[in-house]
Chain A
């Protein structure tokens, strides 16, 4: 009953005319960002953040969250129509979605993607609403050792799951932690690595870094290797799925929703991995797996359901523990901090208006997205006819103006340009940006928690082994770090013992 009362409070906030308009703006911008290749939800949220500066925190977060989950809807359109995913979470949708479009069923594919996304998105928000309060109740009991373990877990899982090399991802996470130490020491107030530059005394802000790495770097990469989109040949008609389509998709949507939410909750996993798993599960349980990749509608419904449900799942660790599990939620965490809010267990008790207003707005936003995406698909598809250069001017202009407006300082613009160039090199040589940004945001929390823990224990690391929650979290973190290496190590040990036996006989 208490949840329903709180949800009613949330709806009273989310349904004010201003917040409805902002939720609409957020999901519309998110859909456009999802459609346009070359700009992802992380860049979209980072670019939109300065625009929200004059708003109340809850209103700003409603819009920014709308961009995040709206991008998941938009991503399916390019996957289905031109075989090019708008963002990474829509990669699996290309496999069957584009095949359906080639067979003249683009409308049905887009329709089931929108309806599946709506059902999964709504189920995900219900699960978020029910799961978040109990987790927050447990997290209230957390002290510095648990927070250190949580931050470490978030960093290691994201590093283990992004990019092609775990070593490079870890290296980027440590680089982010190092950059996070610039400025005032969070405990003693001593200046570190400022090199007598006054602007560095407050540290390197995450927003210019995120805008540089996700926005400017993306444009630079596309200037070097221009994006060429194939013209759209698919006919967009029959957007409502047939009864047979619906029968075939109802279980894949349900399974995709569950998989998406569970995977989304795990720090570092996120929508892309959720869509891969959901597609794999559908192929496994299908009576005729050979249909997959040839235009099976279940192959569109399941990954689309999973990537939308995962966005709600990813909000659980962010809102209840203050630990973002992905690049976009790391940018959202930065947005909370910029507005003077600290996501975590106390958010529910100290700022219930923000917590429940945001959750209620996600129900509203999902309904908006359904009505926006079904009749609006042909209109959105026409966006793909825009030359990339036109989009690039928008991204560059908003990036530069946005970071300047953060503190009315050209210093931030130079930081964004520097990280744009670094981000280009990172893309060119396959160094993932997400662990860097996550480490930059989590760095102060991780360092403060580590130092507080060691101060409590008089310098003994045993404090991390004395508290059950921290032991469990550190064990999972160790598994995430060493997990991929364990099978190879095991095989090596087996072959070594065989060689020894053979040489002995």
Chain B
């Protein structure tokens, strides 16, 4: 346990209580037969109790070790680029977006040599194209380039 668990536990307590509250809008039960609201209501309450316990334990625990600034920056770039790339899929197509994202990871984040980065991204995308698009006939979203 670390002090971060207090924040996580408190957030989860609120989320579980909200779910339990939302489940009261569903039928709890009728004539001794539990309804669709029965399980989510109890899961919500048990989850809230466990989260509150974790939050309380976190209060007396040491602080979580901080991540390195460069590591957090790399991570934020990777997640941000992934979200942008997938948001661009309807416009540029799945394979172009995937290719661009993997190049950002290999060249921009991992700082691989350009030859190795292009070769590994090209190989990966080609393999995925052959297996999924050609062999399994998966209809990936296409862009102006036709793939």
Binding site for B on A (CB under 8 A): 50-51, 53-54, 165, 167-168, 170-171, 174-175, 177-178, 181, 185, 187-188, 190, 192-193, 219-220, 223-226, 387-390, 392-394, 396-398, 400-402, 404-405, 408, 410, 413-414, 417, 421, 424, 428-429, 431, 447, 450-451, 454-455, 458-459
Q: Contacts A192-B26, A224-B72, A408-B139 hold; do A171 and B50 have CB atoms under 8 A apart?
A: yes
Rounded to whole angstroms, the CA-CA distance of A418 and B26 in the bound complex is 27
Inter-subunit contact B71/A177 (CB<8 Å): no
Instruction: For the complex, give the distance between the alpha carbons of A177 and B43 in Å.
Output: 7
Bound-state CA distance A419–B29 (Å) is 32
Give the top 4 A-B pairs by smallest Cβ distance, nearest first.
A459-B32, A389-B110, A185-B36, A458-B32
Q: Do A454 and B141 form a contact, CB below 8 Å, given A192-B26, A192-B40?
A: no
Number of interface residues of B (CB under 8 A): 70
Q: Say yes or no: B47 contacts A178, CB within 8 Å.
A: yes
Known: A193-B22, A224-B67, A459-B34. 9 other contacts (CB 8 A): A167-B50, A187-B36, A223-B78, A392-B105, A397-B98, A410-B89, A454-B32, A455-B33, A459-B32
A405 partner, pick from B22, B98, B132, beta carbons under 8 A:
B132
B contact residues around A190 at 8 Å (CB): 26-27, 35-36
A421-B128 contact given A396-B105, A400-B98, CB 8 Å threshold: no
Asked whether A417 and B19 contact (CB < 8 A) given A167-B53, A387-B116, the answer is: no
Interface residues of B in 56-86 (CB under 8 A from A): 57, 64, 67-68, 71-72, 74-75, 78-79, 82-83, 86
Known: A171-B50, A174-B46. A223 touches B36 (CB 8 A): no
Residues of B contacting A51 with CB < 8 Å? 131-132, 136
B140 within 8 A of A: yes
B8: CB under 8 A from chain A?
A: yes
Contact (Cβ within 8 A) A223 B86? no
Closest residue on chain B to residue A169 by CB atoms:
B50
A447–B138 Cα distance when bound, in Å, is: 34
A410 and B35 in contact, given A168-B54, A190-B27, A393-B124 (Cβ under 8 angstroms): no
Which partner residue on chain B sits nearest A397 by CB separation? Answer: B124
Contacts of B37 in A (CB 8 A): 192
- Assembled-state Cα–Cα distance A225/B105 (Å): 14
Residues of A within 8 A of B43 (CB): 174, 177-178, 181
Select from chain A the residue with minimum beta-carbon distance to B85. Answer: A400
Residues of B within 8 A of A404 (CB): 94, 138, 140
Chain B residue at smallest Cβ distance from A405: B138
With beta carbons under 8 angstroms apart, the residue of B50, B105, B112 that contacts A223 is: B105
Instruction: Out of B2, B5, B44, B120, name the residue touching A393 (CB < 8 Å).
Output: B120
Closest to A177 in B: B43
Known: A224-B67, A451-B33. Is A401-B128 also a contact (CB below 8 A)? Answer: yes
B4 close to A (CB within 8 Å):
yes
Return chain B residues, CB-CB under 8 Å to A421: 79
Known: A408-B139, A447-B39. A417 touches B83 (CB 8 A): yes
Can you give 20 contacting A-B residue pairs, CB < 8 Å? A167-B57, A171-B47, A178-B43, A178-B44, A178-B47, A185-B26, A193-B19, A219-B78, A223-B78, A225-B67, A226-B110, A389-B110, A389-B112, A393-B121, A401-B128, A401-B140, A405-B136, A408-B139, A455-B32, A459-B33
The answer to whether A429 and B5 touch across the interface, beta carbons within 8 angstroms, is yes
Q: Which A residues are in CB contact (< 8 Å) with B57?
A: 167
Contact present for A54 and B135 (CB under 8 Å): yes
B-chain residues with CB within 8 Å of residue A455 when the two chains form the complex: 32-34
| Bound form: Cα–Cα A390–B67 in Å | 24
**B50: chain A residues within 8 A (beta carbon):** 167, 170-171, 174
A218, chain B: closest CB distance, angstroms: 12
Name which of B37, B75, B109, B141 has the most chain A CB atoms within 10 A of its CB.
B75
A225 near B138 (CB under 8 angstroms)? no
Q: What B residues does A223 contact at CB under 8 A?
A: 71, 74-75, 78, 105, 109-110
Residue of A nearest to B29 (CB): A459
| Chain A residues whose C-beta falls within 8 Å of the C-beta of B139 in the assembled complex | 408
Q: Which residues of chain A come closer than 8 Å to B141, judged between CB atoms?
A: 410
Is A450 touching B39 in the complex (CB atoms < 8 A)? yes
Cβ A393 vs Cβ B75 within 8 A: no
Q: Is the CB of B132 within 8 A of A188?
A: no
Please name the residue on chain A nearest to B70 by beta carbon: A224
B92 close to chain A: CB less than 8 A: no
Asked if B102 CB lies within 8 Å of chain A CBs, one says yes
* Interface status of B125 (Cβ within 8 A of chain A): yes
Knowing A178-B47, A394-B124, the reply to whether A451 touches B102 (Cβ < 8 A) is: no
A53 to B135: give the CA distance in the assembly, Å: 11
Does B1 reach chain A (CB closer than 8 Å)?
yes
The smallest beta-carbon distance between B113 and chain A, in angstroms, is 10
How long is the Cα–Cα vector from A430 to B105 in the complex, in angstroms? Answer: 25
Please indicate the chain B residues that have their CB under 8 angstroms from the CB of A390 in the complex.
106, 112, 116, 120
Chain A, Cβ-Cβ closest to B41: A181
Contacts of B135 in A (CB 8 A): 54
B80 to chain A, nearest CB (A): 11
Contact call B54/A175, Cβ cutoff below 8 A: no
A365 and B52 CA atoms in complex are apart in Å by: 47
In the assembled complex, the CB of A284 is this many whole angstroms from the nearest CB of chain B, namely 32
Chain B residues 103 to 147 lying within 8 A of chain A, measured CB to CB, are 105-106, 109-110, 112, 116-117, 120-121, 124-125, 127-128, 131-132, 135-136, 138-141
